[in-house]
Amino acid sequence: MFDYSGFFADRMDGLRKTGQYRTFVEIERLAGRFPRALHHRPAGPREVTVWCSNDHLGMGQHPAVLAAMRATLDASGAAAGGSRNISGTTPHHVALEREMADLHGKERALSFITGYAANDAALYVLGRTLPDCAFFSDRLNHASMILAMRASGAERHVFAHNDPADLDRRLSTVRPGRPKVVAFESVYSMDGDMAPMADLCAVAERHDALVYVDEAHTVGMYGPQGAGLAAQLGVADGVTVLMGTFAKGYGTAGGYLAGPDPVIDAVRSLAPAFIFTLSMPPALAAGALASVRHLRAGDAERELLHERAGLLKSLLRRSGIPLVSEESHIVPVLVGDVDKCRRLAGILLDRHALYAQPINFPSVARGSERLRINPSPVHRPEDVHHFADVLDRTWDELGLPRTPAPAYAEPA
């Protein structure tokens, strides 16, 4: 008889030997005090400072968000009670979708219980429905995008990362008039680099291609009223369908699409990832809406986010600690060794109560292991200085290589 348990146990042992086995750190966020959190460990809980949360603006603890969720929870209960088609569409979903369509200047929006589901639904329907569709996908696109395009059965072309010239060459190989979809992200979460959106959109327009952009790591944090990087760069009209999440800049959970009414309606009507899954809980939709409206009303959180990220990048640059990219609010610290990356994260957490999760394959390529640091408005300047100082000392302890420090202005 086949030993199913033994087979998978051997596979997991293989992951442990290569350093790919993932361990979870049990963290309990402290609302009103985040980035402080409790690390639940065998020796008992201890307060730590979190440096790897995707709650980039600290909106997960904003009083307006919590109040909206509490009120809706008391009024409507814990869940919508079904899929969107069967008892799961509430006034909270409708209001949230109208808000997102208005924010992005699109005809219609559609909400999902996760951002992964939004990518899955949209790209699957585009590839499955458009006749003889061809996808053109950035090499570093998120797994949710890659798997959805693959599952659709449509032809796929992969262009070099952030390379408009390569995209142009590949589009030129497909006959004019054939449906084409160019798919990329505005900010790539592991490298922290930005897509050359204006150039990519211009290439797509020359070839009459639909443009699909994942703005998960920019909505709320970039652009007028937090409308994203495309809006900041003035190319929002060149994006046909935009995907965003509420789980990052907006501090809650869920995803959404915004685009032309017929395209969004097709996703609503045809996507298994939308039809056959639970609707977003009403309290979650209400909290997301409160967060969006707050961030549309002012720039305070956005300005502090970029100020804190700029401070940390300046301090690390001065110390010669290598960064994968300095283009965005994400600060990816390049370690380049799976064992030392794990040891670095362990020292930061165990000795210094600083939590930064090590990132390894398959999230990033082997040999490019890193800590992805996410400073935020709720990290005080003294927190940033302390983190940079501890990282600098631990870097020496592990004998990690440094880069030459360029000329810099002394950070505040």
Q: Active-site residue numbers? A: 248
Q: Is 324 helix (H, G, I), strand (E, B) or coil?
A: coil
Task: Give the integer Cα–Cα distance in Å for 98 and 86.
Answer: 20
Helical spans, DSSP H, in 131-260? 143-152, 164-171, 197-206, 229-233
Beta strands in 179-329 (DSSP E): 180-185, 210-214, 241-245, 255-259
Q: Answer whether 259's CB lies under 8 Å from 242's CB.
A: yes
Which own/partner contact pairs does 72-79 have at CB distance under 8 Å and 24+ positions apart? 72/282, 72/283, 72/285, 72/286, 72/287, 73/283, 76/282, 76/283, 77/282, 78/281, 78/283, 79/278, 79/279, 79/281, 79/282
Which DSSP helix (H) or strand (E) runs through 354?
strand 354-355
Q: Is 223 left (phi over 0), alpha (psi -120 to 50) or beta?
A: left
Phi, psi (rounded to 5 degrees) for 396:
-65, -40
User: What type of residue sits at position 379?
Assistant: H
- C-beta atoms surrounding 338 within 10 Å: 18
Q: Tell me the sheet residues that pair with 5.
A: none
* 212 neighbors 220 (Cβ within 8 angstroms): no
Q: How far apart are the C-alpha atoms of 264 and 118, rounded to whole Å?
A: 11
Q: 228: closest CA among 204, 197, 267?
A: 197
Distance CA 68, CA 289 (A): 9
Inter-residue contact 127 to 153 (CB < 8 Å): yes
3 state SS of 214:
strand
